[in-house]
Amino acid sequence: MNWRIKQVDKLVAYSTLSAVLMTWLLLVGLDAVRAFISEASDIGQGNYGFAAVTLHVLLTLPRRAYEWFSYAALIGSLLGLGTLAGTGELTALRAAGMSKLRICLSAAWSLGLLTALVAAMGETLAPGGEQQAQSLVLQAKSNDIAIGRRAGGIWARDGDTFINAKQGTTRQVDGLREVRLADVRVFEFTPRGQLLSIAIAESALHRAGEWTMEKVRRTEFGEAEAKSTTEASTRWKSGLDPRMLALSIIQPEYLSISDLRRNIRYLKRNQQDAQKFEMAYWGRLFWPFNTLLLVVCALPFAFGALRSGGMGKRIFIGMIVAIGWSFLQRSLVNVGAVYGINLAVATLLPAALLALVAIGYFRRAS
């Protein structure tokens, strides 16, 4: 088979890319409108007005574009080949001796560069825009920016020390970024799990690279007694990274590969569960491969119109099967995580099985 780019490849690429771009624009636009309507209900809280809502939605556009691209690539590719089938051009390509595999790969190759650009956007603009959007909303609704509020507050581990805070804020003061934790409890254990001390502070402030605890009541446990002391202010020697606190409350799917890797190392170093970050990491790493593979495996549904009618029905079935497979893949990854299967293998295995099915189909179709 001659794999040089020919005029027919350009024909398939133009039809595919134009349909993908139109579908992508439609999906992202609808999602942005839905987000705008949802955020508009909060107008009036603090300084959160129409301009802030608009800027918030604009900042999240890269993340939304990244999330919707796989679906746009799938649906647009099917519609692109469907257009060629409707005009008889797909029949002419088959009659000229162009195999189904070659046509499908021509469509996939045309999406290769676009997929790479979207993947790069997902590592740069998307995470940065999402974090800026969250900061914008919190800054507009209140004077400080909340690091995180959840049941039980914020939890972190620093070696044999466990930290709990009911809430956290961050703000810019004199050109420096400071982080303040409120209602802090620090539990210090021995390596064997014996409780050494409990420190309860009204707040803990991180500024200029060091922590300071304020209004502290510390209880130290001995073999036969407990000793309590109080201090107005004391330095807190802790490796607790404020940046990790901020990253930990952002959905892992919104982080870049480098931030996910950094979070995984941090959690594992402190013997904490990093599974959800590992799932997001491997999913992000294999995302370009899975996207293009899904397109190649779904495109054979477009050839049904060459033998019989009902092109729209066949394309619809192809979309449902492919999108259903995407949800099935996520389920299999979750099952793999539950049963302790290596998450890289669990993420890649469904795609590998799909690739084997596709190879078998194209061999029979050739």
Nearest to 206 by CA among 253, 250, 171: 171
Structure tokens at 112: 């290769």
Rounded to the nearest 10 degrees, the angle between the axes of helix 50-86 and helix 287-298 is 40
Tens of pLDDT along 241-254?
A: 666 665 555 677 77
Residue entry with tokens 């078998």: 360
Distance, in Å, from the CA atom of 213 to the CA atom of 236, rounded to the nearest integer, reads 6
Helix (H, G, I), strand (E, B) or coil at 6: coil
Pairwise CA distance, residues 45 & 41, whole Å: 9
Check residue 63 and give its pLDDT.
93
- Asked if residues 236 and 212 have their Cβ atoms less than 8 Å apart, the reply is yes
Q: Which 8-state DSSP code applies to residue 301?
A: G
Query: If you write DSSP's letter for every residue of 179-218 in order, what string do you get?
Result: EEEEEEEEEEE-TTS-EEEEEEEEEEEEETTEEEEEEEEE
Strand partners, 197: 188, 220
Domains and CATH numbers, the chain: 7-137+276-365 (no CATH), 149-248 (2.60.450)
Question: CA of 79: how far to CAs of 93, 207, 265, in Å?
Answer: 17, 55, 43
Amino acid letter at 331? S
Q: What are phi and psi of 135, to 5 degrees?
A: -65, -40
In this structure, the number of other CB atoms found within 10 A of the CB of residue 364 comes to: 7
Residues in a beta bridge with 206 = 179, 211
Residue type, 324: G
* CA–CA gap between residue 168 and residue 149 (Å, rounded): 8
pLDDT at 27: 92
In terms of Cα–Cα distance, which of 7, 11, 1 is closest to 102? 1
**pLDDT band at residue 170 using 50, 70 and 90 as cut-offs:** low
- Is the pLDDT score of 220 beyond 80? yes
| pTM summary value | 0.71
pLDDT in tens, 35-75: 999 988 888 877 788 998 999 999 999 999 999 998 888 88
What's residue 169's pLDDT?
65
Amino acid at 198: I
